[in-house]
Structure 1
Amino acid sequence: MGQRRKYTGEPYWHHPVAVAETVSAVETATAEMIAAAHLHDVLEDTAVTAQDIEECVGQRVAVLVQELTDQFIDLEIGNRAHRKALERNRLAQVSPEAQTIKYADLIDNTISIVARNRGFARVYLAEKRQLLEVMAAGDQGLRRQAWRVLEEGEAKIRGVAN
């Protein structure tokens, strides 16, 4: 309770709601995808378990949330570049539904990070460019939107756009 977004200071719940709203606009969105979008960070950020999610909203939502949960956050696995490469390879193999949700997550995070922390944005955008290159099975319209937001962010941090 009381969590705040790192770069905006807004209540944290704004982020999953924004991700879910973006997913809900996709023609192929299902109720399970929208629920998973709302819950996409809970396994990383709370004591909630996949079993808790399954008991409350069903197995498909729990599976999607597990697919969206970063599996390589342990610092003992290696440096950031190594962990992100492992996670990128994993995300390239998740379901199209999970990839669609991940595109929406990337869109919302990119907008926030570029607007508020251009130094970190350089690292973040390079990582997300590599991710979008290999994560190609989700909704193609939303993937194109994610590419657009990423490229706009890159232009902003280069000083081409404000």
Structure 2
Amino acid sequence: MIKALEFATRMHKGQVRKYTGEEYITHPVAVADIVEIYLDKKGGYSEEEIGMAMDVAVLHDTVEDTEATMEDIEEKFGAEVAKGVWFLTKTPNYVGNRKFRKELCEARLREAPEIVQIIKTVDMFHNSWTIEEHDPKFWQTFKEETVSLLIAMDTLEVMGELEKMRENDEV
């Protein structure tokens, strides 16, 4: 993950999180950390699979939020990591309105490998912490969109497990 972390840190340099002002890289790092903890606890994943998942997690926002391209990701990290990042990259605004873009993302993520769906669930889980606290107006929309996507990916149970882990200070 060191190579992916160095790349993501360089690409996100100067970016800050919307609600907290923290360096943006703290979000993908937190997602990668939670993914590792969750996959270790769940069991059944090889070190190689967990390592790949952590690379995808730390890189998950690079294409949509920086100058990095899918080709950059594939060249530096291989096709499997690039495929994971592709599944997690939002549909661009020029494609249509928010509802249509969300529907396209949902259709794509429904077909994603299980480990990518877990990464997306962790991403939404981590984002929910700051959205709920800092943007109550958007919170309801975010919750509805999140539940819809969790149902589409069949990961409602994963979100429940993550919430229990947070309650128990495991993440």
Supply the AA of the counterpart residue of 1:42: T
Tell me whether 1:54 sits opposite 2:70 in the alignment: no
Quote the offset at 1:84 in angstroms. 1.2
Q: Which residue of 1 aligns with 2:33?
A: 21
TM-score between the two structures when normalised by the length of structure 1: 0.81
Q: Tell me which amino acid in the other structure corresponds to 1:30.
A: I
Contact 2:125/2:159, CA 8 A, preserved across alignment: no
**1:145/1:56 Cα in 2 relative to 1: closer, same or farther (>3 Å)?**
same
- Number of residues of Structure 1 aligned to a counterpart in Structure 2: 145
**Residue aligning to 1:145:** 161
Distance 1:56 1:78, change over 3 A: closer
TM-score of the aligned structures, taking structure 2 as reference length: 0.77
Determine the C-alpha separation between the residues in 1 that align with 2:159 and 2:140.
Answer: 20
Question: Counterpart of 2:23?
Answer: 11
Residue 144 of structure 1 aligns with an amino acid whose one-letter code is G
1:1-162 matched pairs, under 5 angstroms = 1-25=13-37, 26-27=39-40, 28=45, 30-70=50-90, 72-75=91-94, 77-136=95-154, 142-145=158-161, 148=163
Given the superposition, is the C-alpha separation of residues 113 and 3 from structure 1 closer, same or farther in structure 2, using an over 3 Å criterion?
Answer: same
Check the 8 A contact 2:19/2:130 in 1, yes or no: yes
SS at match of 1:30: helix
Instruction: Provide, for residues 95-135 of structure 1, a one-character-per-residue CA deviation record: whole Å limited to 9, x for no partner.
Output: 11110110110110011100110101111111001111111
Q: Give the aligned residue type for 1:2.
A: G
Q: 5+ unaligned residues in a row in structure 1: which ranges? A: 153-162
RMSD: 2.1
SS in 2 for 1:63: helix
- The answer to whether the 8 Å contact 2:60/2:89 transfers is yes
**What is the alpha-carbon distance in structure 1 between the residues aligned to residue 29 and residue 110 of structure 2?**
24
